[in-house]
Chains A and B, each alone.
Chain A
């Protein structure tokens, strides 16, 4: 490929190749401070390519490829190349990673213990994690949390946070502008702006944390906390895992252990401030 870069996020080493310079330059700015081992081969490959050679210049549209592809994925305009790269990286992890059980969940940690927040997009799990990450917590990731089957520990995947729509204004005001990527307006997922995690979260990206709380946030409605049984948490997390089935008995053992050892709650909240307060309240009770 004409342009390429290498990025390590948590335990995953990526190489990203592109027919255009712009997405690579964008990635290199977002991931400049991430620790990098140049001698380490890539676990996962992402390719951003033009379907036809002239499409590099003429109405350039970025196709997302790599080790794993989604056959009917639509290409994105070059102005959204950074989003294409993010989607490509997510795809490779979701479909290719086997070392840990992957949960589609955000996570934050304090004193070596983690809060794992799982929910559909729109649940606010990313925004909550990003806000907590600016408020005394170590951001472990806004999209994936990795569970080590052997130890039961949570591992971080602190990619650049993908802030969407209202979350952009909510978070952007609190952080140094140098930690924000360009505004990608009107993408298929709405407006998007990337946030580089705090330096301490990046520096700690290889440190495991013990799961202390499993939360299932739901944005909207009255503030409410509802304890969740082991069985329901198990079912929800199998649905939130992209590789549970592929891990076989190791995944089964990891998940039964996780839901048995970790208290789980459904959390409804009308706004981010309330959501954060509820999380802090549950945390105080959990570590007491």
Chain B
């Protein structure tokens, strides 16, 4: 059994942690660290009977994750204070949103940058307010800057000069050059408020964004973490909505993400055991495997017992795919050329 398979088995609850040997743990801990998911695993195994050294290491990770999550939520609070003067509405995205909404996948989850969504019409004012409140441009070259503004779905990243934390201000949830463009206005209008007073995407929109972030927005780096988010989001939302699959696919269709979301469901089912349910009414929903699902699974599980990424060719293939999805071919060629010359 490979270390990464043992790791996902532990997360999925298919493997009893007490049966792991020292060698198994070495590999699992190495893989979990490489995926930035050791604290996630620690939260998952909080009640498990573990040998003292493992229990101590995992307790350290839980405590550290709690501090880190507070720091991430504080960034959201400071953004709220900066934007409240002009009453600019914003919606939290990704990790910070999961934490603010108290969703299951937030337990132990590492949160990097603060991602927020604002209306395109507010983006200039939001930028001004943030600059006034101490954020500043990350120094970048003019090509990157123009690339962000013209083609991506966000302002160039801003970093806070005192707190050294980044904020990504999005005005849609996928790049504009992406052939699929979700409707940000609908997302903002249907956002819901958390008990802590922040706004987050509606459940189906949040799951759609998570799937898009996993499959349509990148080269599957950090994919196991994003897929774990997706798995737990689906489980959380099924509690309130037995037919969440239908709600989800309906929402996905309005954003042109139905194929992406279905694939995410199939992958989550195969890796984490997400339950799937087929429907024939009100519309047909089935989860037949596609020929390239196996490639995605192999890419997601490509790590050795030292936590090192394996499958170089597969990585490259997915890297090019991620740009292919994002850009028209001529632009892709220009982009890769510019990046290559700068190396």
Which residues does A use to contact B, with CB under 8 Å? Answer: 1, 13, 15, 17, 37-43, 45, 47, 49, 65, 67, 96-99, 246-248, 250
Interchain CA distance A99-B52 in the complex, whole Å: 14
Report if B317 contacts A (CB, 8 A): no
Interchain CA distance A184-B241 in the complex, whole Å: 66
- The answer to whether B25 touches A41 (Cβ under 8 A) is yes
- The answer to whether B60 touches A40 (Cβ under 8 A) is no
- The answer to whether B22 touches A39 (Cβ under 8 A) is yes
From A1, A41, A67, B22 is in contact (CB under 8 Å) with A41
On chain B, which size bracket covers the interface? Answer: 20 to 34
Interchain CA distance A246-B62 in the complex, whole Å: 12
- The answer to whether A41 touches B67 (Cβ under 8 A) is no
- The answer to whether A246 touches B64 (Cβ under 8 A) is yes
Select the stretch in B27-35, B101-109, B206-214, B217-225 that faces chain A: B27-35
- The answer to whether B306 touches A99 (Cβ under 8 A) is no
From B25, B51, B67, B308, A247 is in contact (CB under 8 Å) with B67
From A1, A13, A40, A98, B63 is in contact (CB under 8 Å) with A98
- The answer to whether A17 touches B57 (Cβ under 8 A) is no
- The answer to whether B63 touches A67 (Cβ under 8 A) is no
From B30, B51, B60, A67 is in contact (CB under 8 Å) with B30
- The answer to whether B307 touches A45 (Cβ under 8 A) is yes
- The answer to whether A42 touches B26 (Cβ under 8 A) is yes
Shortest C-beta distance, B25 to chain A (Å), equals 3
User: Of residues 50 to 68 in B, which have CB atoms within 8 Å of A's CB atoms?
Assistant: 51, 53-54, 56-57, 60-61, 63-64, 66-68
Interchain CA distance A160-B280 in the complex, whole Å: 68
Interchain CA distance A51-B228 in the complex, whole Å: 31
- The answer to whether A248 touches B67 (Cβ under 8 A) is yes
B residues less than 8 Å from A247 (CB atoms):
64, 67
| Closest Cβ neighbor of A43 among chain B residues | B57
- The answer to whether A1 touches B306 (Cβ under 8 A) is yes
Known: A13-B53, A67-B33, A99-B56. A47 touches B61 (CB 8 A): no
Shortest C-beta distance, A36 to chain B (Å), equals 12
Known: A38-B22, A98-B61, A99-B56. A45 touches B68 (CB 8 A): no
B residues less than 8 Å from A98 (CB atoms):
60-61, 63-64
Interchain CA distance A37-B25 in the complex, whole Å: 14
Report if B179 contacts A (CB, 8 A): no
Known: A42-B29, A47-B306. A246 touches B57 (CB 8 A): no
A residues less than 8 Å from B30 (CB atoms):
42, 45, 67
Shortest C-beta distance, B291 to chain A (Å), equals 32
Report if B70 contacts A (CB, 8 A): yes
- The answer to whether B26 touches A67 (Cβ under 8 A) is no
> What are 26 contact pairs spanning A and B, CB under 8 A?
A15-B26, A38-B22, A39-B22, A40-B53, A41-B22, A41-B29, A41-B57, A42-B26, A42-B30, A43-B53, A43-B57, A45-B26, A45-B29, A45-B30, A45-B307, A65-B308, A96-B33, A97-B60, A98-B61, A98-B63, A99-B56, A246-B64, A248-B66, A248-B67, A248-B70, A250-B63
Interchain CA distance A47-B64 in the complex, whole Å: 24
| Closest Cβ neighbor of B28 among chain A residues | A41
Shortest C-beta distance, B234 to chain A (Å), equals 30
B residues less than 8 Å from A250 (CB atoms):
63
Interchain CA distance A41-B305 in the complex, whole Å: 13
Interchain CA distance A17-B29 in the complex, whole Å: 15
Interchain CA distance A39-B63 in the complex, whole Å: 25
- The answer to whether B26 touches A99 (Cβ under 8 A) is no
B residues less than 8 Å from A45 (CB atoms):
26, 29-30, 33, 306-307
A residues less than 8 Å from B307 (CB atoms):
45, 67
Q: Which of B30, B54, B61, B307 has the most CB of A within 10 A?
A: B30
Interchain CA distance A93-B55 in the complex, whole Å: 18
7 new A-B contacts at CB < 8 Å, known A15-B26, A41-B53, A67-B307 = A37-B53, A39-B51, A43-B29, A43-B57, A45-B30, A67-B33, A98-B64
From B60, B63, B67, B308, A47 is in contact (CB under 8 Å) with B308
B residues less than 8 Å from A49 (CB atoms):
308
- The answer to whether A99 touches B60 (Cβ under 8 A) is yes
Shortest C-beta distance, B308 to chain A (Å), equals 7
Known: A47-B306, A98-B64. A40 touches B22 (CB 8 A): yes
Interchain CA distance A67-B22 in the complex, whole Å: 18
A residues less than 8 Å from B61 (CB atoms):
98
A residues less than 8 Å from B57 (CB atoms):
41, 43
Q: Which of A41, A49, A250 has the most CB of B within 10 A?
A: A41
Interchain CA distance A47-B307 in the complex, whole Å: 10
Interchain CA distance A282-B280 in the complex, whole Å: 83
Question: What string of 1s and 0s marks CB contacts (under 8 Å) between B36-77 and chain A?
Answer: 000000000000000101101100110110111010000000
A residues less than 8 Å from B22 (CB atoms):
38-41
A residues less than 8 Å from B64 (CB atoms):
98, 246-247
Task: State the 6 A-B residue pairs at the shortest beta-carbon distance, nearest first.
Answer: A41-B25, A248-B67, A98-B60, A67-B33, A98-B64, A40-B53
B residues less than 8 Å from A42 (CB atoms):
25-26, 29-30
Shortest C-beta distance, B73 to chain A (Å), equals 13
- The answer to whether B70 touches A17 (Cβ under 8 A) is no
User: Of residues 132 to 189 in B, which have CB atoms within 8 Å of A's CB atoms?
Assistant: none
Shortest C-beta distance, B1 to chain A (Å), equals 16
| Closest Cβ neighbor of A248 among chain B residues | B67
Interchain CA distance A96-B60 in the complex, whole Å: 10
| Closest Cβ neighbor of B57 among chain A residues | A43
Shortest C-beta distance, B203 to chain A (Å), equals 31
Interchain CA distance A208-B63 in the complex, whole Å: 22
- The answer to whether A246 touches B68 (Cβ under 8 A) is yes
| Closest Cβ neighbor of B24 among chain A residues | A41
